[in-house]
């Protein structure tokens, strides 16, 4: 790997680290679109999160940038660099499908839910060029600048403003998440190996990119006073609600809501019992599995592979692995919950 290529990799690592920290790509971001009889309603995270996420995203997305994931023709870029120089060939080949075949197919795929025929790539390009990063067509040969503001207006009118932004946000999530996974699995480990074992050092520009990340490391005495995300002001109940709303904890949420009428009871058992099965015993939960007679008049709530009845009765459906999945989700939730509470800083008294 040449010195210039290593510097490009270093810049990519810095930008990917920034992208990973953006609230827009957090599991707590739940952009949602609902519709009935061709009338749609969207619920989005704050525009500040979207614009903040686009800044690092476009540095990796745009082929003209030095840390671009791929170039105009799909070759070159950081992707090819990492796949060429990574020493673990078995690991590399195991991920080739996701970062080449799957990635390229996602670029060409029409926007979600059959709303449009335009590709994910064109949806991102027109939004970046005409809305969130620029204000219209750029001068030069850069293909990303082919869109004009009138094109954006025509698309928004034809597709529908709510659906159009939802398509952009979901496309941004798809490719931003792929960039983050690529960095965490392949690019960052390779960068660290080249530093520690081969003694390669980034040049001045790359070092500055790493040093002055908008999300600085703890060695700098910087605290963010976050007026939007409010994670530095969360109560115990707010942290519980935020984490339980994550998609991977959906089944656990149904379980807890069905078993406990009060949120305070659910929080208490999460704090007290290490394992779900211990919680079942400690809270006198009656568990049925497979074929059994159930009084459906006592039904309270259902989940994927299980139902809950009054009197703290849980019935796991036949041929369902939901019990094991819920046990894993319960343990994982406790780890994340306690970790988030440890990060909670001391509340600052308001100045008078």
Query: Are residues 191 and 308 located together in one domain of the fold?
Result: no
Picking from 159, 166, 168, the residue whose alpha carbon sits closest to that of residue 123 is: 168
Give the span between the Cα atoms of 346 and 58, in whole angstroms: 36
pLDDT in the model for residue 336 = 94
Cα 256 from chain centroid? 24
Per the domain annotation, does 229 fall within a domain? no
In a domain, 220, yes or no: no
In this structure, are residues 279 and 268 in contact, taking their beta carbons and an 8 Å threshold?
no
167 within domain boundaries: yes
The number of folded domains in the chain is 2
Same domain, yes or no: 152 and 248: no
Q: What residues contact 131, with CB distance under 8 A and at least 6 apart?
A: 152
Where do runs of H (alpha helix) occur along the chain?
3-21, 47-61, 77-85, 89-96, 103-108, 120-127, 149-159, 161-182, 188-196, 204-211, 236-244, 250-259, 263-272, 276-282, 322-343
Write down the pLDDT at residue 132.
72
Q: For residue 189, tell me if it sits in a domain.
A: yes
Is 352 domain-assigned? no
Rg (C-alpha) for the chain, rounded Å, is 24
The range of the structural domain enclosing residue 205 comes to: 3-211
Residues 281 and 203 in one domain: no
Residue 337 sits in the same domain as residue 246: yes
Q: Which of 177, 211, 245 is the last residue of a domain?
A: 211
Of 194, 211, 228, the one marking the end of a domain is 211
Residues contacting residue 204 through CB under 8 Å, at least 6 positions apart: none
- pTM equals 0.80
pLDDT tens, position by position, for the chain (352 residues)?
999 999 999 999 999 999 999 999 999 888 988 888 778 899 998 898 999 999 999 999 999 899 999 987 777 899 999 999 999 999 999 999 999 999 999 999 987 656 788 899 999 999 998 887 655 555 555 444 577 888 899 999 998 889 999 999 999 999 999 999 999 999 999 999 999 998 989 888 888 877 777 776 777 777 776 656 666 678 899 999 999 999 999 999 999 999 999 999 999 999 999 999 999 999 999 999 877 777 888 898 888 899 999 999 999 988 788 999 999 999 999 999 999 888 776 655 566 7
- Residues 204, 152: one domain? yes
Domain end: 195, 211, 227, which one?
211
Residues 100, 91: contact at Cβ < 8 Å? no
- Mark whether 192 and 244 lie in a shared domain: no
Is residue 222 assigned to a domain? no
- Is residue 171 one of the residues assigned to a domain? yes
């Amino acid at each position: 790997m040449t010195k210039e290529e290593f510097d490009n990799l270093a810049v990519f690592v810095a930008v990917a680290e920034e992208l990973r920290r953006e609230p827009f790509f957090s599991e707590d971001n739940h952009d949602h679109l609902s519709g009935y009889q061709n009338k749609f309603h969207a619920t989005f995270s704050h525009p500040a999160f979207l614009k903040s996420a686009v800044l690092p995203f476009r540095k990796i997305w745009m082929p003209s940038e030095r840390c671009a994931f791929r170039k105009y023709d799909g070759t070159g870029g950081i992707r090819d660099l990492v796949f060429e120089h990574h020493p673990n060939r078995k690991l590399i080949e195991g991920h080739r499908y996701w970062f080449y075949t799957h990635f390229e197919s996602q670029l060409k795929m029409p926007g979600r839910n059959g709303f449009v025929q335009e590709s994910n790539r064109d949806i991102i390009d027109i939004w970046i060029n005409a809305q969130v990063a620029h204000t219209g067509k750029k001068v030069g040969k850069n293909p990303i600048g082919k869109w004009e503001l009138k094109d954006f207006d025509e698309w928004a009118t034809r597709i529908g403003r709510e659906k159009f932004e939802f398509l952009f946000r979901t496309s941004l999530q798809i490719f931003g998440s792929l960039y983050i996974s690529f960095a965490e699995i392949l690019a960052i480990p390779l960068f660290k190996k080249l530093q520690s074992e081969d003694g390669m050092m980034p040049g001045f520009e790359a070092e500055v990119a790493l040093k002055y990340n908008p999300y600085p490391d703890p060695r700098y005495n910087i605290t963010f006073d976050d007026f939007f995300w409010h994670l530095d002001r969360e109560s115990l109940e707010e942290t519980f609600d935020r984490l339980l709303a994550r998609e991977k904890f959906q089944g656990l949420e149904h379980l807890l809501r069905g078993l406990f009428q009060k949120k305070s009871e659910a929080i208490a058992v999460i704090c007290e019992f290490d394992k779900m099965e211990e919680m079942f015993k400690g809270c006198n939960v009656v568990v049925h599995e497979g074929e059994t007679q159930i009084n459906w008049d006592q039904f309270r709530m259902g989940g994927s592979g299980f139902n809950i009845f009054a009197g703290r009765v849980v019935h796991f459906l036949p041929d369902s692995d939901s019990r094991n999945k819920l046990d894993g989700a319960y343990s994982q939730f406790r780890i994340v919950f306690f970790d988030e509470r440890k990060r909670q800083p001391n509340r600052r008294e308001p100045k008078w």
